[in-house]
Amino acid sequence: MARQRPDSPPLFDLVQKPDFSFEKKAIKDGLWPVAGLDEAGRGPLAGPVVAAAVVLNPKRIPKGLDDSKRLTAAQREELFEAILKTALGVGVSSVCAEGIDRINILRASLEAMRRALAALPVTPLMALADGRDVPPGLPCDCKALIKGDQRSQSIAAASIVAKVTRDRMMQGCGQADGRYGLEVHMGYATERHRTAIEVHGPVTRLHRMSFAPFRLVEVTQEVELDLLELDSGNEKAA
């Protein structure tokens, strides 16, 4: 007897959409306003990491909020304008490439979130942060949510604001220096970007020198210098 096919979709076909349930629970617990926190630009070879904090208006939540990575550029731009128009508060901040090199990308991302929250025009009593880590130094309670931009509308809104803001910053960098195509790939390690780096080298204060391939080049140079010094020492001893 043939096995009947279930009429319900398999679990892996279900697409989770962000909702306002975490925010509603916080409101019920007396923790309002609630700010969503997210960042954009952890992986690129160039440019800042940008974070946003958003306090949505429960009565005017824009339709279509989602993880910025699951939206088209046009959708992000439209929702960006809707968020700025309807939200109770939006804060944006960034940490530059030099700052990332100095404190590492994880700490820079969390610091950008902290600054974005501090830039809000309202004082939140609760924050929802995308990821595993709670940004240190926040003046309010905070809950970290893995894949939070796919679970919380406030975090999804923050992810859109951060992404659009960073993209605009990188487009400006691309207009100022057209050698790398930054306005196209936003600083990510595309073939075009890597090839341009090989030809022109990295740009100080724009490229993240603690990232590969720059870090690998530095390590190779240090090893070569050590070998030259060793050979020189051997020659003198001989």
Does any domain span residue 6?
no
pLDDT at 215: 76
Does any domain span residue 227?
no
* pTM (global) more than 0.75: yes
Give the span between the Cα atoms of 167 and 171, in whole angstroms.
6
pLDDT at 222: 43
pLDDT at 228: 44
Does any domain span residue 64?
yes
Does any domain span residue 233?
no
The domain that holds 108 is classified in CATH as: 3.30.420.10
Does any domain span residue 208?
no
β partners of residue 39: 51
Distance of CA 82 to the CA centre of its chain: 20
pLDDT at 16: 86
Quote the number of domains for the chain: 1
Does any domain span residue 124?
yes
Does any domain span residue 224?
no
Does any domain span residue 210?
no
3-state DSSP assignment of residue 93: strand
pLDDT at 236: 52
Please list the pLDDT of the chain residue by residue as tens digits (238 residues): 455 655 555 555 566 899 999 999 999 999 999 999 999 999 999 999 999 999 999 999 999 999 999 999 999 999 999 999 999 999 999 999 999 999 999 999 999 999 999 999 999 999 999 999 999 999 999 999 999 999 999 999 999 999 999 999 999 999 999 999 999 999 999 999 999 999 999 999 999 999 988 875 543 444 344 434 445 555 555 5
Sheet with 141-145, side-by-side order of all strands: 89-95, 49-55, 34-40, 126-130, 141-145
pLDDT at 216: 54
Domain housing 34: 16-185
* C-alpha distances in Å from residue 86, one per residue of 25, 28, 63, 137: 21, 22, 11, 28
Q: Which amino acid is at 58?
A: P
